[in-house]
Every structure is written in C-alpha cells, then in structure tokens.
Chains A and B, each alone.
Chain A
Amino acid sequence: MHAVPKHIAPLVPVVHSHGRSAQEDPAWIRWLLISSAMATLVLLVIVPVVYVFCAAFSNGAVAYWETLTGDSDTLHAILLTLFVAPISVIANVIFGIAAAWTITRFRFPGRTLLTTIIDLPFAVSPVVAGLMFVLLFNQRDGYFGPLLKMGNIQVLHAWPAIVLATTFVTLPFVARELIPVMEAIGADEEIAAISLGANSWQMFWRVTVPNIKWGLLYGVILCNARAMGEFGAVYVVSGHRTGKTETMPIRVNTLFEGATAATYSSALAVASLLTLLALVTLFVKIALEHKTQEDLRQAAKSQEVE
C-alpha cells in the first residue's frame, strides 16, 4: 500500500495567462494571417460594395430615385423580379417541407439517393439548367413542344420559363435547411399529437410548423436572395427582351452594355438596389441563424437523459 499523498497534483496543467499554449502560433504568424484575410476581404468585398453605393448615389438621392422609377423598362424589370421571386419561394417551401418530411419521417430504399438528388441543382451550372428548359419547352422541337403548340402556351421567353428556371436553381434551399432541423427534433411530438387525437392537418400546423419555423424562414430568406439574384439560367430561358422578360440582374447587364453615361449610372442604381436586398438578407440571415441554432440546441438538450 502506498501512502496517499496529501497534495494531489491537478491532472490538467494550469495555463498561465502570459506564455502561450502549444496549439497557438507565434504572434507574427497570427498577425500576418489575420491582416492578409482582412486585406482580401476589404479589397474583394467591401470596396466594390461601397463603390457601387457611392457611384449610384453620386448624383444624389433624388436622381437615384428617378433613375430607378423614371425608366419604364427598369421599373418593369424590378416588378418582374418581385413577381417571380415569391412564386419560386412558395414552390420551394412546398417542395422543401415535403422532401424534408419524406426524408426524415420515413425509412425507404433510395432515401440517401433522394437526399443527394435534392442537391443536384446546386451542382449544375445555371446556364446548363437554362438550356435544359430550352430543350424541353421550345415550341419548335422541344420535348413538350407539340403539346405547348397545341395549347398555344408560351413558356420560353415569357414569365413561366423565368419562374421554372428560378425555382430549379433555388430548389435545395428550404429542404437543406429543414432536413437537419427535423431530424434533430424527431417525430416524437408529432406522434404525441396523434395520440392526443389530432388529425394530420392539426398535427402539422400546431406541432410541426412551430417547431421548424425558424429553419423554414432561414431557408426562405436564402432562397429569396438567390431567386432575385439569379442571372445565368434566367438569361438563357427568358430571351432577355427589354421591358418584357428582363429581371433585375439582366436589366443591370443590359444597361451596362448600353455603354453610355446615362445607362451606366442606371446600371449602378439597379445594381445597388440588388446589393441592398442582399445586405438585408444577410442581416436577417444572421438573426435567424441564431434562432435555428437555438432550436437545434433545444432539440439536443431535450433528448439528453437526465
């Protein structure tokens, strides 16, 4: 038997506040890394953003407002974007909830494959996505061409194509946000609701929706930002006809290519509006991210064994 020592040394070495711990780099490396990251950020992100706003407002706020609203084609582009984006968002919410529900509440063969396929629109280049729709919907030799011709339905070079392309490109956003949230929360509360006599509709609105609302909103915000900013796919399917099928990003491009001083400043004005929308999205996103994380933490906590 060994005598028990009176003073037992702590197992964890005490870290003194001066001195540096093993995983920490020397000060000069830290400062070099931090300053190069900061420099990149300022050069590539902050300067352009600030410049867009400065240039857009160079003639004052009144001129800015007139540039945006005075030109009927620009106004049309803004309205078209505000029309298309909500439709895409709604389609996204419906698909996202359905997909997340299917993946997290059922076990079936091909479940992993479905999870992968949901991400496909992120992997495919938007231009290619646009081309797919052209191949499918053109009235001359498209796959659905004869059908569309018969019903005299104009899809390409009209708003339906813009909606389709935008929806395709943004499809994964809501589903991707919801899958981890619904997985973490689990089906227990939903089963409890059923056992208490709720029908599926009551269960969904009273239990599922309140539980996933922050994740859902987060997905909607991201989806909306992407929907408003989408260029490639929409450019291909819309025919980019000024005053008819131009959305905001395409209008910026058209104005920019106009290459006169007037169109140049108009381009900057529309661009700054798009940027503003992006910044608002960013702030809402940060706020929601916090809420979603809170939900996930709560879910993890409630599953802990006390």
Chain B
Amino acid sequence: MSIVVKNLSKQFGSFKALDNVSLEAQSGALLALLGPSGSGKTTLLRIIAGLESADQGQVMYADEDVTQQSPKDRQVGFVFQHYALFRHMTVYENVAFGMRVRKKSNAEIKSRVNELLHLVRLEGLNQRYPSQLSGGQRQRVALARALAVQPRILLLDEPFGALDAKVRQELRQWLRQLHDEIHLTTVFVTHDQEEAFEVADRVVVMRSGHIEQSGTPQEVFDHPATPFVMDFLGNVNVFHGRVENGMAMMGALNIAYPEYPHAESRQATAYVRPHELDIERIPFGASSLEVRVLQLNPAGSVAKVRVFSEQFGVALNVDLNLERYAELRLHPGDLVYVAARRVRVFMPGTQDYEI
C-alpha cells in the first residue's frame, strides 16, 4: 500500500515543525526520513500514523484519504524510539495486545503471536517481561507487536537510536531482510545517514520542516541537491572561491567544473569530501594546495589526516587509504600538497545555506 502526503503543515506554538511537505512512498518501499533533530521528521511520521494531527494537508494510504481517521482505523504498525513496551505485560501479552483490544479469539491470538515471535527470532522468551530483555530484544518485541495487528503500513521512529553500535548494525541488516520477506510499505526516521543509506530504498532528507532532497541513497549521496545535504551526509571541506569558463578556482586549487561554462566570473563555494582529497609530497602542478600536516590518525579503515592551509587559514580533513598512507610516511609538520579529485560547487544567491 502506497503512502502519499500532500502539502502537510504543522505548527507547535510559534515553531513551524512542517512547512508544506509533500511525499510519496510507493507500495512495498522502504523509505528513510533523514534529518537532524528539529527537522520535522518525527512529526511527519506521527502525522502519517495519526498520532498527531496536521494543521493542513492530506495523508493518503493508496487511494484512501485517512487524514481524519483515528490511529485505530488507520491500522498502522508503529515502533517507538524507546520501544514503549508495556512493562507489566509479558512478551506474549505485549505482542497479543493489538489483537486483544480487537477482541480476536484466543486460538487466533496464540497462533499469530507464536508466528511473529518466530519471525523476530524470540521464541522461548514469551513469558519474559520487558525488563528482562536486552535492548535489541526489546526492539524486536516492539516490532512483533506492531506487526501483530496486520498493519497496512509500518512506521518506525528512530528504531535503532537507543542501541549500541554492534546491535544496531545487526538489527539494520535484519530489518532490511525482514522487509524483503514481508514487503510491507515501511517508513523509518533516523538522524544517522549511514543507517538511512544502508537500509532504505529511498532517502528523504529533511531540514527545518521541509524536504531538502529525496532519491535513492546513491542519487542523494552522489548528487546532493544543496550544501545542507552535502554537509549532512558526512564530513566536508569547504572552500570559498570563484567559477568561470568551466573551472572552479579556490586559491591554488583549480578543478574542472564543466557545469559552469560561462566566461562571467561568479563567487562560489566548493565542497570536497575528505576521501576525495589526495596528498602528494611534490606539487601537482597548478591545481594543488600547499598545506602543513597537523595530525595523523591511522586507526580505522582509512587514515585520517588533518592538514592546515595557510592560504585559506583553515584546517582540512583528508582520508587516505591505508596503503597510500603507509607509502607517504607523513609526520606532523611536513609540508605537503593537496589536490581534489572531485568537487561540488554551490553558487551563493541560489542557496541560503552556510556552513
């Protein structure tokens, strides 16, 4: 079942949580709402679920307008950030709750609960209480509970936010797998871009109540529509300079920029990701920037090098692969040269974003 959101607005006092947001999740899609706190992503999710009412706009499930429907009639599965499991009920009763309030027969409840506990791999724990479970287990109970009502859509609010890194990683992959098995239209909220990219088919990046960009993870990562998206999706180095004749010129750093072929020179800001910068011991010709090595951190899958550019008066982050790092034998204080393999240029006036 697809979800369509049309021109949704919501205001809390003087704070605009959502400002004319429109969105579509196709049937069977797994969509991530990605954004910093205060971007309106949770509010949007709660309005889709019917837990919050919109000031304006429409929510549709397939062709059905559900804007005025109660959460009960909408039949959605909702998973809360802190699980919100019923603490005085066993795992079994937690999962059964949605069916109990709908007056299903005991036999039906029993078979469905057992089926779901099998699905979330929690067989044998049905007589435990939430306080006796680990974080990851609680989250899976919450998911089973949400699925028990045979929801038309599944909504998850920061589903892995409260878990430690390792469990989070496992659950992400598991959620993706589960989604491939049950094909339920799913929307989840996260502030973690890695999580969004790893799990979702489509990513919607939100910022202060509106949608900045939406697309597949690849599209969004490779072609960020705005400086905000660029910055939000990971570390960036920022250069202020000019563009003209198909070149972006940031001091000594010159990079081909065919998107702007005009002769008229314009002010621009260039964004370069740390892994798109390279370090050499000798100048690359006219297109490299002289910098001094500040810090070295080779612990991890890439070596993180921090360098300082006198010309710009800023520190830059460079990620090198470990072989390259070993080859260069850098030491703090070394004078080296930096070049960019790739830049994204945003011209002021068209964008209102400043880093």
Binding site for B on A (CB under 8 A): 188-189, 191-199, 202, 206-207, 210-211, 298-299, 301-303, 305-306
CB distance from B104 to the nearest CB of A (A): 11
Residues of B within 8 A of A196 (CB): 97-98, 101, 145-146, 148-149
Describe A's contact surface by its main secondary structure: helix
The answer on a CB contact under 8 Å between A199 and B101 is yes
CB contacts (< 8 Å) of A302 on chain B: these are 82-83, 87, 130-131
Stretch of B23-31, B72-80, B330-338 at the chain-chain interface: B72-80
Q: Which residues of B contact A (CB under 8 A)?
A: 49-51, 71-72, 75-76, 78, 80, 82-89, 97-98, 100-102, 130-131, 134-135, 145-146, 148-149, 162-164
8 Å CB contact of B71 from A194, A206, A298, A299 = A194
Can you report 12 A-B residue pairs in the complex whose CB atoms are below 8 A from each other? A193-B101, A196-B101, A197-B75, A199-B101, A210-B86, A298-B87, A301-B131, A302-B130, A303-B82, A305-B162, A306-B135, A306-B162
**Assuming A191-B51, A194-B71, A195-B49, what are 18 further A-B pairs, CB within 8 angstroms?**
A192-B78, A193-B86, A193-B97, A194-B51, A195-B71, A195-B76, A195-B146, A196-B98, A196-B145, A197-B101, A202-B101, A206-B86, A206-B100, A206-B101, A303-B82, A305-B162, A306-B162, A306-B163
A198 to B148, CA, bound (A): 13
| Distance in angstroms between the alpha carbons of A266 and B292 in the assembled complex | 98
In angstroms, Cα B49 to Cα A198, docked, is 14
**CB atoms of A306 and B164 under 8 A apart:** yes
Residues on the B chain within 8 Å of A305, using CB: 162
Decide: A198 near B86, CB < 8 A? Known: A192-B78, A298-B131, A306-B164.
no
- A188 and B158 CA atoms in complex are apart in Å by 14
Contact A188 B101 (CB under 8 A): no
A94 CA to B149 CA, complexed, in Å: 33
Chain B residues whose CB sits within 8 angstroms of the CB of A197 once the complex forms: 71-72, 75, 98, 101-102, 149
Q: How far is the CA of A82 from the CA of B263 in the complex (A)?
A: 97
Chain B residues, CB < 8 A from A202: 101
- Write out the residue numbers on chain A whose beta carbons fall within 8 Å of the beta carbon of B162: 305-306
> DSSP class of B's interface residues: helix, strand, loop or mixed?
loop
Beta-carbon nearest neighbor of B162 in chain A: A305
Contact partners of B146 in chain A: CB under 8 A:
195-196
Alpha-carbon distance A65/B208, docked complex (angstroms): 76
Chain B: minimal CB distance from A256 (Å) = 48
CB <8 Å contact, A198 and B164: no
Residue of B at shortest CB range from A305?
B162
Q: How far, in angstroms, from A197 to B130 measured CA to CA in the complex? A: 21
Q: State the CA gap A46–B163 with chains docked (Å).
A: 53
Which one of A189, A191, A194, A299 lies within 8 Å of B72 (CB-CB)?
A194
Please pick, from B84, B148, B164, the residue contacting A189 in the complex, using a CB distance under 8 A: B84
Residues in A neighbouring B83, C-beta threshold 8 A: 302
A198 touches B101 (CB 8 A): yes
Closest approach, in angstroms, between the C-beta of B191 and any C-beta of chain A?
A: 14
Known: A195-B76, A301-B131, A302-B131. A206 touches B163 (CB 8 A): no
- Complex CA–CA separation, A195 to B50 (angstroms): 8
B71 CB contacts on chain A under 8 angstroms: 194-195, 197
Cα-based distance from A189 to B145 in the complex (angstroms): 12
**B103 → A minimal CB distance (Å):** 10
A303 to B84, CA, bound (A): 9
- Write out the residue numbers on chain A whose beta carbons fall within 8 Å of the beta carbon of B131: 298, 301-302
Contact at B101–A192, with CB atoms within 8 Å? no
- The chain B residue with its CB closest to the CB of A187 is B84
Cβ of B130: which chain A residues have Cβ within 8 Å of it?
A: 302
List, in ascending order, chain A residues with CB within 8 A of B87's CB: 189, 211, 298-299, 302
Contacts of A193 in B (CB 8 A): 86, 97, 101
Which residues of B have CB within 8 Å of A189?
Answer: 84-87
Interface centre among A192, A195, A298, A306 (most CB of B within 10 A): A195
A188 CA to B78 CA in the complex, in Å? Answer: 12
Tell me if B86 and A192 are in contact (CB < 8 A): yes
* Shortest CB distance A122–B (Å): 31
Of B83, B101, B149, B163, the most chain A CB neighbours within 10 A belong to B101
Are A188 and B82 also in contact (CB < 8 A) when A197-B71, A198-B97 are?
yes
In the bound complex, CA of A299 to CA of B86 (Å)? 11
A195 to B46, CA, bound (A): 10
In Å, the complex CA distance between A78 and B71 comes to: 51
In the assembled complex, the Cα of A271 lies from the Cα of B78 at a distance in Å of: 58
Could you say which residues of chain A place their CB within 8 Å of the CB of B163?
A: 306
Nearest CB to that of A306 among chain B residues? Answer: B135
B80 and A198 contacting across the interface, CB-CB below 8 Å = no
Closest Cβ of chain B: how far from A304's Cβ, in Å? 9
When distances are taken between beta carbons in the complex, the residues of chain A under 8 Å from B101 are: 193, 196-199, 202, 206
Name the 8 nearest CB pairs between A and B, nearest first.
A306-B135, A188-B84, A196-B98, A192-B84, A195-B78, A198-B101, A210-B88, A197-B72
B contact residues around A299 at 8 Å (CB): 87
